[in-house]
Structure 1
Amino acid sequence: MPPSLLLQHAPCARPTAKRTASLFSAAVLASKDGGGARPPRPRPRGKPRFSRQSAIRKSFQQEQVVFSTPVSPDPTVAVIGGGASGLACASALAARGVRSVVFDTGMHGLGGRMATRAVDDERQLVFDHAAQFFTASDERFQKLVEEWVERGLVREWRGSIGELEAGGHFRPIHSSTPRYIGVNGMRPLADAMLPENDLIKVIRPSWISKLEPFNGLWRLFENEKPRGQYDAIVIAHNGKCANRLLSTSGLPQLTKQMKRLELSSVWALLAAFEGPFPIPHNNSYGTFEGAFVRGVDSLSWMANNTRKLFPFETDRPECWTFFSTASYGRRNKVPQENIPNATAEKVQREMLGGVELALGLSKGSLQLPFYTRVQLWGAALPMNTPGVPCIFDPQGRAGICGDWLTGSSIEAAVLSGISLGDHVADYFASCGERPEEFAIGLDDSLNRVEGHDIGQFPGLDSSQKPQVAEAQLTATI
């Protein structure tokens, strides 16, 4: 993480950094029982109840949990979600000497929407099938990006990108702001966000299904299987799963804010072609690598992953990522965990038809791809945002981070995670004695988001005015 995230010792966090690390190593992070900084707690009998040490008040049709137990000198935070914001939060906590456990649902790796799919094939097909590129405008994020560049993980994307009007009319976007991509795709950046120490443990794939306050701690469960006890929790994902998790948590203020969030749905089509795309005859720009598509209902973005990631390798097939518009995603939304074959075929056919329309090609003239895959991002772009870097409920010792709090970009996600990690560390440093001073984002109203079709890119110049989010979609999903 950026150098500004230096280790700071809280007055009530008596262990030194080395002591904290040794406690982390000795403890079984999947549970607070059985060792570590505190003696084992007896297993409760019968139906679990709230501790006498926790006060409960009625609010927003949920009973608000209010922890009154002292803050532990050796706290552990559960971070639910291993995308950019969750990883940034865990890293910020580690920089302050606070240990955490990150629970992530990813089957193939961390990163969430910083996703890269590599097809295990002799032809080595590689697709960035979520975040396509990013810019850096904030000094804290810029320092992190510079570290990635020095480590060879990130480089500038100098290929031609622009706006493609239906009919094949391409207009390049010229900007002095660097555009960045992962050298080997976006996913490796997720692993690079974690510091090389033992203050962070990652558990995946894991679907946390229940949160339960007990004896001044939060107990986590995965399908009734205990996943440990924690001093504070961070929700670093959104959508229906987060809403379901919070709905019975005893955190009505967090629940209210999360339920106010509106998200678009986006179809992604990955397609590999034997030869290059035909260049429309009415253009002289040459071959572009990425384009914001205008005037095509089923298409908002298209990018050539092969030229973007492997610019000097001419013998590879062309691997393209296409994204639908928000309106198309809304009309064709299905359960993303179980997409019917008929829907997948329809979406593929209509999106490839949208490619022909965008390029100004006659119907049916586009070469057929030899590999395709469709995916629905059911919770893609935020369509409204409170404009605060993070949300924290000090009474329930729980917070939310994510790009949706300030925008729709990798930069927004990372800065949100850093902000919440520092905020939680400051709360621990106060020993929880002035909780009212640490409430943030609980009552802020949400306003409509504006940005480019595939997210927000601070500093990226465009000849066209930003579009309102409900009429757009993103690849920074």
Structure 2
Amino acid sequence: MASAAPPSPSPRVAVIGGGIAGMSAARALVGSGVHATVLDLGERVGGRVADRTQALDGGRLLSFDRGAQFLTVSSPDFKAQLAEWQAAGVAQEWRARHGMLTAGGTFVPAAAAAGTSGAGFCGSLSGQPLYVGVPTNQALVQHMADSLAAQAAAQQQEQQQADPQADPQQQAPAFELLSGCAVQSAERVGGGCGCGPGGARWRLRGSRRGRAAAADPAAAGQQEDLGSYDAVVLADGMPLLPGSAGHVAGLEAVSTSLAQLARSVQAVAPEPCFALMLSFDAPLEGLPFDAAVAQGIGSSSGPGSGGGGAGAASPAFQWVACDSSKPGRPAGAGAPQCWVALTTPDRAARLLQAHPLTRADGRFNPQTREYRQAVAAELLADFEALMRPFLPGGTLPRPAYTHAQRWGRAFVTEPLGAEFLFLPAQRLALCGDVATGSGVEAAWRGGRAAGAAVASMLRSEAAN
């Protein structure tokens, strides 16, 4: 075991994962006087609240929400968070013509469909208003990160003014964001019971090359020290999943309880999903909807489709939306019309048989350009089959742009059943959809609760 790391002058917590849950945990920590460092695999924060923008010739811009499509609000505390986003201009209500598409080729508005098919995709048929981020949903998470950075800077400036001779690095709780950072290994360093500043701490190692490092077999030999921390918050289950892009080696070996937690996470079986992104030079005319739950509309025949035709029992998509109908998106004369369609778990599973998550050697299979093109070609045929009954003449124009995104762990339908899980002796908390299930509000609440629990533990130690 490595020698003990020197104790930090103020508590430091690593938050692995920069999505809604991770940023919510970081906010709770910083608000309690704890230094929070968020380490995220992506080049930009967001996690599953992800977007894709693509610049075209002539200055035109394509904009897609390739992850979370919208959010709903059910609790007063999350309503307050939404109000903050709205006041900052990064969230608006999406007044879409939305509802349900049936296998018979009809569109049922949400008001008429409510109660006939459950709450619909992510609560879209629940009767609650739908909200989106502006200019994309990723702006919600970016606002949280920017607010944390501004808060930490203001706190540090106040303390510098109060004591100009003090070391700025030791004056105030701080926030740090390390994007494009692949945490690849973790170990406990130091002795003792792990209580107080002189006890065991977490030392993280990895690469600042993000997803490229996670997929590179040589990356393990290029690790760097990512710092030592008094506690760790896992804002996603991937660090405990061998073979995933976000796996952190060494976590399971720390203790029996952590090994048990890892086994529990590995037993959760999230459903996969592919997002198809399309743009058209001219709007699709005559459609009665902007967004809809696809109900029982099958995939076209072709590789990986299982041979089902349109109207088959196995539907291709669970959700389809015109992203250009969302507020704050590029619109107006000459603006391309952008669409996103999310596959059903069954369709995604069949695609993964032909385009797997892992290579033959068991390593993570990155989404290369060729990989995405092959998947997009198959899903375009499915999209045409879905839209044909609603298009004048039954013909889909040729899209000007196509792209596909694989989500290997998209929807958790049977989570661990808690807002977060906490191992105080190991100074580690787990939150995110593996704990709470899918949904922006659930992730936000779980992250906040995890951050508050870790901060409470550290405050108690400091008091003793």
Q: Is TM > 0.5 for Structure 1 vs Structure 2?
A: yes
Offset of residue 381 of structure 1: 0.7
Query: Within 2, Cα distance between the matches of 1:304 and 1:127?
Result: 9
* Correspondence for 2:178 among 203, 209, 225: 203
Contact 1:385 1:406 in 2 (8 A): yes
Query: Within 1, Cα distance between the matches of 2:41 and 2:247?
Result: 16
Query: Within 2, Cα distance between the matches of 1:339 and 1:311?
Result: 27
Aligned amino acid, residue 326 of structure 1? P
Query: Within 2, Cα distance between the matches of 1:413 and 1:97?
Result: 22
Offset of residue 73 of structure 1: 7.0
Query: Within 2, Cα distance between the matches of 1:414 and 1:182?
Result: 15
- Give runs of aligned pairs for residues 189-268 of structure 1, distance below 5 A: 189-194=140-145, 195=148, 196-198=150-152, 199-215=174-190, 216-222=200-206, 223=220, 224-239=223-238, 240-242=244-246, 244-245=248-249, 246-250=251-255, 251-268=258-275
Query: Within 2, Cα distance between the matches of 1:305 and 1:93?
Result: 34
Question: Is residue 302 of structure 1 aligned with residue 320 of structure 2?
Answer: yes
Question: Is residue 76 of structure 1 aligned with residue 27 of structure 2?
Answer: no
* Correspondence for 1:357 among 385, 396, 418: 385
Question: Is residue 291 of structure 1 aligned with residue 292 of structure 2?
Answer: yes
Aligned amino acid, residue 290 of structure 2? E
Contact 2:233 2:451 in 1 (8 A): no
SS of 1:188's partner is helix
- Give runs of aligned pairs for residues 461-476 of structure 1, distance below 5 A: none
- Give runs of aligned pairs for residues 307-386 of structure 1, distance below 5 A: 307-309=325-327, 310=329, 313-333=332-352, 334-335=356-357, 337-339=365-367, 344-361=372-389, 365-386=395-416
Change (3 A) 1:125 1:311: closer
- Give runs of aligned pairs for residues 131-146 of structure 1, distance below 5 A: 131-146=68-83
Task: Name the counterpart of 1:431.
Answer: 461
Task: Name the counterpart of 1:410.
Answer: 440
Query: Within 2, Cα distance between the matches of 1:233 and 1:428?
Result: 12
Question: Is residue 396 of structure 1 aligned with residue 426 of structure 2?
Answer: yes
Offset of residue 364 of structure 1: 8.5
Offset of residue 330 of structure 1: 1.2
Task: Name the counterpart of 1:437.
Answer: none
Aligned amino acid, residue 321 of structure 1? V
Offset of residue 357 of structure 1: 2.5
TM-score (ref. length: structure 2): 0.73
Task: Name the counterpart of 1:114.
Answer: 49
Aligned amino acid, residue 306 of structure 1? S
Structure 1 stretches lacking a partner, 5+ long: 1-47, 54-68, 280-285, 435-477
Task: Name the counterpart of 1:269.
Answer: 276
Offset of residue 433 of structure 1: 9.9
Task: Name the counterpart of 1:464.
Answer: none
Change (3 A) 1:153 1:204: same
Contact 2:183 2:246 in 1 (8 A): no
Task: Name the counterpart of 1:153.
Answer: 90
Aligned amino acid, residue 53 of structure 2? A
Question: Is residue 90 of structure 1 aligned with residue 97 of structure 2?
Answer: no
Offset of residue 347 of structure 1: 3.0
Question: Is residue 126 of structure 1 aligned with residue 63 of structure 2?
Answer: yes
Offset of residue 238 of structure 1: 2.5
SS of 2:68's partner is coil
Question: Is residue 172 of structure 1 aligned with residue 147 of structure 2?
Answer: no
Query: Within 1, Cα distance between the matches of 2:74 and 2:414?
Result: 21
Contact 1:243 1:255 in 2 (8 A): no
Identical aligned pairs, as a percentage?
A: 32
Query: Within 2, Cα distance between the matches of 1:127 and 1:98?
Result: 35
Contact 2:50 2:65 in 1 (8 A): yes
Structure 1 residues 89-137: Cα deviation after superposition (integer angstroms, max 9, x where no partner): 0011111111111101112x11111111110222211111111100011
More moved, 295-304 vs 153-162: 295-304
Query: Within 1, Cα distance between the matches of 2:9 and 2:457?
Result: 12
Aligned residues: 363
Structure 2 stretches lacking a partner, 5+ long: 112-125, 153-173, 191-199, 207-219, 239-243, 299-314, 358-363
| Structure with more helix by fraction | 2
Change (3 A) 1:342 1:77: closer
Offset of residue 306 of structure 1: 1.0
Contact 1:167 1:360 in 2 (8 A): no
Offset of residue 155 of structure 1: 0.7
SS of 1:197's partner is helix
Query: Within 2, Cα distance between the matches of 1:379 and 1:172?
Result: 30
Query: Within 1, Cα distance between the matches of 2:94 and 2:74?
Result: 16
